[in-house]
Amino acid sequence: MTHILASDPRAALMVNDAAHLLKRCYLLQRECVLMQAGWLPGTPDLAIKLALAESLWEDALIARELRQRVLELRYPERLIAPDADQALLDWWCGFRDAPDGASFARGLASVLKPALQQAYQTYLDLSDPLDDAPTRRLLAHALADLEAQSARWAGALLDAEHGPAGEAWLSGARAAWAAAGEATLLGPPQAAYPPVPGRRPFQIARHAARDPRYARLAFAWPDRIDSARGPGEGLTLQVRAAVHHANEIWATEMAAAVLVDLAEQAPPEFLDDAARWCFDESRHCRMGLARLSAFGFSPGDIPFDTFSYDAGAELDPLTRLGIIFYFETTFIHTKPQRARIFQASGDRLSAHDMDYDWADEQIHTHYGSHWLKHFLEQAGETRTPLEVRAAAEQAVRRLQAQAGPGDVAATEARFQRAMALASRYANA
Ligand SMILES: [Fe+2]
Ligand SMILES: [Fe+2]
């Protein structure tokens, strides 16, 4: 029998090969999201914290597209399991066992992300532009995101400090990576990979770390101790909105913690929502930082607290999720009101920030009620989302009630100082 014999570089990867490699990339990318979320609350450096939030959100988007592509290639098979890649995955996750957040971020930026970039580029070089075009499109976008992340990490890590333990761990991590070899992520699965020396088993921080370059208070603004004090008017309302926005770093941390606590038991869509939630709250923090910086505030003039995150320290993961849900649902109605007030007073930028914040918060209240309901049903609990929210509110109020005279005086002094600064700016 006569055949046309055709060997072509286009034919390097058959569908099964592609599905296997992309499944591995999906799992590695997903673990990257979890590792970054895990380090977010316990990392003091604010630039790193904010960079983690943005990068884990982008990574979650890449993971989602990779997963979708694996399902397409294996249709109708729905199961995605590590199988022979378990040892590689365990090794990869071991990179979170860093001595501190700054070291982890350096390892992430100098080892893990470049490794992913290299793997995606290798896949692009091997794959067929015709038959595998959908994968090539998603990997090209993933590479563009990772390239942009690389530039952002260079900026975020500029002032990052870590001690000798961090330096030793980092050189160990780089050496382990080099020993594993360039083809590690796309190569044949190994039974074991070069160990990283000096690992410290990772544990997520249940009390949020704060950047020492900023002002640290038990409560960042008077109405965070006593809501009866009210938000104020005019300039006070403008500064208050910016300080409260900056302090939404706690919600960034709580979304990250909830992601880490619940992702293993959740459907993949939870990772998408929690990562987006985390990133949105980090943008709200940035809104506040940008406004305060424009008002002439230096980092040392900007007050931060942690009580909303710390209130979850002793709670179960669902009630921690309830804490964000409580804040979102209690204060969402103020956002459009404030946007209108700022617009009317000629502060278009504060109005603009509040307008977009409100759009985000509408999605977040849906995330909160949807996922609380899901996890409660999954656990067979009889509690309703509103009962979880009430327990969350009590935990927050317990910490507010612990404010001593010293805390109240410190918050008031910081408030007076902030308003004096803002008045000088307003009158200049
Ligand atoms: Fe927010
Ligand atoms: Fe929110």
pLDDT single digits (tens) 31-89? 999 999 999 999 999 999 999 999 999 999 999 999 999 999 999 999 999 999 999 99
The CATH number that domain 215-427 falls under is 1.20.1260
Ligand nearest to the CA of 255: 2
The answer to whether residue 5 scores a pLDDT higher than 90 is no
Mean pLDDT estimate for the chain: 95
Closest-approaching ligand to the CA atom of 323: 2
With a CB cutoff of 8 Å and minimum separation 6, the contacts of 339 are 351, 354, 355, 358
Torsion (CA) 232, 235, 238, 243 in degrees, nearest 10: -80
CB 359 within 8 Å of CB 337 = no
Nearest ligand atom owner, CA of 276: 2
Q: Which neighbouring-strand residues pair with 304? A: 216
Q: Ligand 1 centre and the CA of 52: distance in Å?
A: 17
Looking at the CA of 247, which ligand is closest? 1
CA of residue 351 relative to chain centroid, distance: 25
What 334-339 contacts at long range (C-beta under 8 Å, 24+ apart), as own/partner pairs, is: 334/231, 335/361, 338/237, 338/241
How many Å lie between the centroid of ligand 2 and the Cα of residue 368?
Answer: 9
- pLDDT (mean) for 412-416: 98
Confidence grade of residue 1 (pLDDT, cut at 50, 70, 90): low
Distance (Å) from CA 289 to ligand 1 centroid: 13
Identify the band that residue 326 occupies on the pLDDT scale cut at 50, 70 and 90.
Answer: very high
The answer as to CATH 1.20.1260.10 being correct for domain 12-180 is: yes
Instruction: Give the model's confidence band at 416: pLDDT under 50 very low, under 70 low, under 90 confident, else very high.
Output: very high
Q: Which residues of the chain form CATH 1.20.1260.10?
A: 12-180
pLDDT tens digits for range 259-286: 999 999 999 999 999 999 999 999 999 9
Q: What is the pLDDT of residues 11-37, one digit of tens each?
A: 899 999 999 999 999 999 999 999 999
| pLDDT per position as a tens digit, 189-219 | 999 999 999 889 999 999 999 999 999 999 9
What is the token pair recorded at 90? 């365990």
Ligand nearest the Cα atom of residue 324:
2
Task: Please tell me the number of the ligand nearest to residue 277's CA.
Answer: 2
Q: How many CB atoms lie within 10 A of CB 206?
A: 15
Percent of the chain at pLDDT > 90 equals: 89
pLDDT digits (tens, 9 = 90+) for 128-156: 999 999 999 999 999 999 999 999 999 99
* pLDDT, tens digit (0-9, with 9 covering 90-100), for 336-358: 899 999 999 999 999 999 999 99
Q: Is 215 in a helix, a strand, or coil?
A: strand
CA of 390 to the centre of ligand 2 (A): 18
pLDDT of residue 428: 85
Residues 224-247 have pLDDT tens digits of: 999 889 999 999 999 999 999 999
- Alpha carbon of 356 to those of 61, 325, 404: distances in Å? 21, 19, 36
State in Å: Cα 367 to ligand 1 middle.
13
**pTM score > 0.95 for this model?**
yes
CA distances from 11 to 7, 17, 24, 30, 135 (A): 7, 11, 20, 28, 15
* Element containing residue 216 per DSSP (H, E): strand 215-216
3-state secondary structure of 303: strand
pLDDT over 70 (residue 123): yes
pLDDT digits (tens, 9 = 90+) for 285-318: 999 999 999 999 999 999 999 999 999 999 999 9
Confidence label for 163 from pLDDT (cuts 50, 70 and 90):
confident
